[in-house]
Amino acid sequence: MSVSEMFAALQGALGQDQDIREEIRKVVQALEQTAREILTLLQGVHQGPGFQHIPKKCQKAREHFGTVRTQMESLKTKFPADQYYRFHEHWRFVLQRLVFLAAFVVYLESETLVTREAVAEILGIEADRERGFHLDIEDYLSGILTLASELARLAVNSVTAGDYSRPLRISAFINELDSGFRLLNLKNDSLRKRYDGLKYDVKKIEEVVYDLSIRGLNKEATVGAGGEK
């Protein structure tokens, strides 16, 4: 084989790789658009009237995740099954965003932490690496850390909306989440940096709870929460 023939073959391989990346990019753009639609929908819970419509917003978000599952099925066909991590960077960000959105919906519905397996099911992908296109553990954890920041914001807006019991429940949830992350030996620099931001979310929520205490609203909130249960 001549040098020109060798490089022609290499160009062919590069061309195929570029075609794969372009196909992936198109699907990822569609996923990003769906994620934006879900986020816009859920952002309504931060407004006063939004608290009254949480179940309806969660139901609509679940419907959007049906579109996500269809788009994920398309994404799976765009690259060789054994080359997940070769192309992982293309969908890593949007996947983390979708994890956050799924976790936020589950929290709003039940005030519990969604499992990685449950998120994978919501997104229509696998939890186990051996089974193909899957939810990487670090992507799951990154999405959960974004949830913590969103809940810190929700705690503040809850007070504005006159819901004084929600910040107390969010505080308990975030503290439990923080305790869970402390059990992990995080090696990933990006994930470690994001985890370092969790302490600011904890502090922000503690300030909200402290303010409620100073104003004597925490007792009212405790009574209200007890009545709800």
Look at residue 220 in the predicted model and tell me its pLDDT: 58
Question: CA 198 to CA 195: how far, in whole Å?
Answer: 5
- Look at the block and give the residue holding tokens 């934006």: 36
Question: CA 205 to CA 172: how far, in whole Å?
Answer: 10
Helix (H, G, I), strand (E, B) or coil at 134: strand
CA 141, 35, 146 angle in degrees (round to 5)?
30
Q: What is the largest CA-CA distance in the chain?
A: 84
Look at residue 190 in the predicted model and tell me its pLDDT: 84
Report yes or no: 57 and 42 within 8 Å, Cβ to Cβ: yes
Name the token pair of 209. 């709870």
Identify any residues that bridge with 216 across adjacent strands, giving them in sequence order.
none
pTM of the model: 0.88
Question: CA 89 to CA 170: how far, in whole Å?
Answer: 32
Look at residue 152 in the predicted model and tell me its pLDDT: 96
Look at residue 193 in the predicted model and tell me its pLDDT: 87
Report yes or no: 70 and 123 within 8 Å, Cβ to Cβ: no
Go through the domains of the chain in sequence order and give each one's CATH number.
Answer: 1-135 (1.20.58.190), 136-220 (1.20.58.200)
Question: CA 109 to CA 45: how far, in whole Å?
Answer: 12
pLDDT tens string, the chain, 229 residues long: the values are 788 878 787 877 777 888 899 999 999 999 999 999 999 999 999 987 777 889 999 999 999 999 999 999 999 999 988 899 999 999 999 999 999 999 999 999 999 999 999 999 999 999 998 888 999 999 999 999 999 999 999 999 998 888 899 999 999 999 999 999 999 988 767 888 889 889 999 999 999 999 998 887 766 555 444 444 3
Is 73 labeled as ligand-binding? Answer: no
Look at residue 227 in the predicted model and tell me its pLDDT: 46
What is the rounded (10 degree) CA torsion for 150, 154, 155, 157? 140
Look at residue 166 in the predicted model and tell me its pLDDT: 92
Question: What percent helix, strand, coil does the chain show, rounded to 5?
Answer: 85, 0, 15
Cα-only R_g, the chain: 21
Helix (H, G, I), strand (E, B) or coil at 126: strand
Among candidates 142, 207, 205, which has minimal Cα distance to 172?
205
Question: CA 98 to CA 104: how far, in whole Å?
Answer: 10
